[in-house]
Amino acid sequence: RLSVAVYERASRLDRSAGTGVAIWPNGTRALTLLDARASAQLERDGCELTGVLAPGMETVPFPVRAMHGGAPAVMVQWSALQRLLLERCSCGSDGGDVRSRPVSVTLGAEVASIEALPDDSVALLGASGDSLGTADIVVGADGIRSRVRAAAGCHAEVLDGGRRLVRSVVPRAKLSGAAAKFPRGTSALWGGKESGATLCLMDVGQDCFYWAAGLLDGSDVSAAANDVRALAESVASEAEASGEGLGPIMGEIVRDAVAATQHVYDNRSLSIPPQFDSPWEASAGGAITLCGDAMHAVVPSVGHGACLALEDAVVLGRHVAVAVRNGGSAADLRAALRAYESARLPRTAQAQIHSWKQGEKSYGRAGDEFDSMARDLSEYGPGLEGVQNWLLQWDGQGDGELSNAAFGDE
């Protein structure tokens, strides 16, 4: 077996940090393949999406589970998902203790550089040059501005979508009026037809819901740019004044939620260019790979960032497990990384392109610049809807993804 060391740059894990995240059927399938107990816990900690909000506070059924072979979509607080994953790292898949799944987690540690060693291992160095240890392979899961990717000499241009997002999670107990009546198991989205402003609401379980307000750069409310609460309230006012569809009720709900929220997160819509191959494969003797946003950050127009990362974990784990079963030599492990990248990058690059095109208006940049990078999407069905369905239908049985049967119970 491999011993796994996780280095986390944060000095502490704040259980109240973060906002909300949607885990779509492809993500819940991935989590089930990784750890069925974790998937069951996700459904307990989060909230299954069963409907979308309609004017008049009515709910239109959205039978995701029935549409996708029994796999649900679950909306959950980010901090709850993080806690769940860390807890499952510390015990075996059978609920046993850490000895059956040897994972160590070190907080306040960031890998700043990686050096190849004569014995085919690599040395991990911190920001001050201090040694963090050695490893046979390194997986950079450190986000869009990945230090691991940079250490591999593969800097990725960060693309700014020209959009600002302010958001948070608020307990229902702090709310009154329409906000307190927001239906459980429901999500809602409003978009300004001309301004590109957006509001989003979703139930994330544990008697809380997530709210978000988005605004394009250069909008009429730029005077509120240094006050995140004022920005959110401006978008809410626009929605209320629209007098159409969900605008009035969502504007009222978000206005009340902003007033009751303790901490508001201020983000920008960022991604990196789609990539169909792995230029980092020769770095550190081939011992480095990436996953999640470090490899394929997407704008949040279709909400697949976390789901793609969970898919990555399944496919990477399978390839590494086969390499370990075959002896775990340096050559076998590094070949496993290349096989994982070959299986994943064509899919994740398409997801990046699709996200840009889906949110072309909302995210401020023309999708045409990605046409030259896109491969033929016709195999996924007609237009954007076909690509979205292709993303949701992932089941871990694609080309190069192996299957659980390839390595039994390892």
- Chain segment 201-235, per-residue pLDDT in tens: 999 999 999 999 998 887 665 445 578 888 899 99
Using CA atoms of 301, 278, 306, 349 in order, give the dihedral in degrees to the nearest 10. 30
298 close to 304: Cβ distance less than 8 angstroms? yes
Per-residue confidence (pLDDT) for residue 94, from 0 to 100: 47
- Least confident piece of the model among 46-55, 178-187, 333-342: 178-187
Q: What is the pLDDT of residue 16?
A: 66
Reply yes or no on whether the pLDDT at 41 is more than 60.
yes
Cβ neighbours, 10 Å, residue 107 = 12
Strand partners, 187: 52, 202
Task: Say which residue, 346 or 46, is predicted with more confidence.
Answer: 46
Q: What is the DSSP string of 94-105?
A: TS--GGGS-EEE
- What residues does 188 pair with on adjacent strands? 201
- The pLDDT of residue 197 is 87
Cα angle for residues 216, 219, 222 (degrees, 5° grid): 105
Q: Average pLDDT in the 190-195 region?
A: 81
Task: Say whether pLDDT at 4 is over 80.
Answer: yes
pLDDT for 26 equals 96
What 3-state class would DSSP assign to 246?
coil
Residues 309-329 have a mean pLDDT of 94
Q: Is the pLDDT assigned to residue 93 strictly greater than 50?
A: no
pLDDT above 70 (res 368):
no
pLDDT on residue 379: 47
Average of pLDDT values for 154-162? 86
User: Bridge-partner residues for 4, per DSSP?
Assistant: 103
The Cα 328–Cα 322 span in angstroms is 8
Quickly state the pLDDT bin for 406 (edges 50, 70, 90).
low
Tell whether the model's pLDDT for residue 333 goes beyond 90: yes
Write out pLDDT tens, residues 126-139.
988 899 999 999 99
Range scoring the smallest mean pLDDT among 41-45, 174-178, 328-332: 174-178
Q: Kindly tell me if the per-residue pLDDT of 103 is higher than 80.
A: yes
How high does pLDDT run on average in the chain?
85
- CA–CA separation, 353 vs 260, rounded Å? 37
- 285 phi-psi bin (left φ>0, alpha ψ -120 to 50, beta other): left
List of residues 6+ apart from 51 with CB closer than 8 A: 59, 60, 61, 62, 183, 185, 186
What's the pLDDT score for residue 202?
94
| Number of DSSP helices (H) and strands (E) in the chain, helices first | 12, 17
Share of the chain above pLDDT 70, in %: 86
Letter for the amino acid at 24? W
Cα separation, 333 vs 324, in Å, equals 7
* Higher pLDDT pick, 227 / 194: 227
